[in-house]
Amino acid sequence: MATGQLFSKTTQALFYNYKQLPIQRMLDFDFLCGRETPSVAGIINPGSDGFQKLFFGQEEIAIPVYPTIEAASNAHPTADVFINFASFRSAAASSMSALKQPTIRVVAIIAEGVPESDAKQLISYARANNKVIIGPATVGGIQAGAFKIGDTAGTIDNIIQCKLYRPGSVGFVSKSGGMSNEMYNTIARVTDGIYEGIAIGGDVFPGSTLSDHILRFNNIPQVKMMVVLGELGGKDEYSLVEALKQGKVQKPVVAWVSGTCARLFKSEVQFGHAGAKSGGELESAQAKNQALKEAGAIVPTSYEALESAIKETFDKLLEEGKISPVTEITPPLIPEDLKTAIKSGKVRAPTHIISTISDDRGEEPCYAGVPMSTIIEKGYGVGDVISLLWFKRSLPRYCTQFIEICIMLCADHGPCVSGAHNSIVTARAGKDLVSSLVSGLLTIGPRFGGAIDDAARYFKDACDRGLTPYEFVEGMKKKGIRVPGIGHRIKSRDNRDKRVQLLQKYAHTHFPSVKYMEYAVQVETYTLSKANNLVLNVDGAIGSLFLDLLSGSGMFTKQEIDEIVEIGYLNGLFVLARSIGLIGHTFDQKRLKQPLYRHPWEDVLYTK
Q: Which residues are catalytic, by number? A: 273
Query: What is 103-121 written as a DSSP string?
Result: T--EEEE--S---HHHHHH
CA nearest neighbour of 254 among 207, 321, 186, 202:
186
Confirm if 321 and 267 have CB atoms less than 8 A apart: no
Confirm if 253 and 291 have CB atoms less than 8 A apart: no
Cα–Cα distance for residue pair 517/25, rounded to 1 Å:
66
Q: SS3 of 600, please?
A: coil
C-alpha pair distances (Å), 363 with each of 27, 358, 366, 369, 392: 33, 13, 9, 13, 21
Cα–Cα distance for residue pair 547/525, rounded to 1 Å:
20
Confirm if 218 and 250 have CB atoms less than 8 A apart: yes
569 residue type, one letter: Y
Cα–Cα distance for residue pair 165/157, rounded to 1 Å:
11
Confirm if 234 and 210 have CB atoms less than 8 A apart: no
CA nearest neighbour of 94 among 65, 64, 70:
70
DSSP-derived pairing of the beta strands 50-56 and 13-16: unpaired
| CB atoms inside a 10 Å sphere around CB 553 | 17
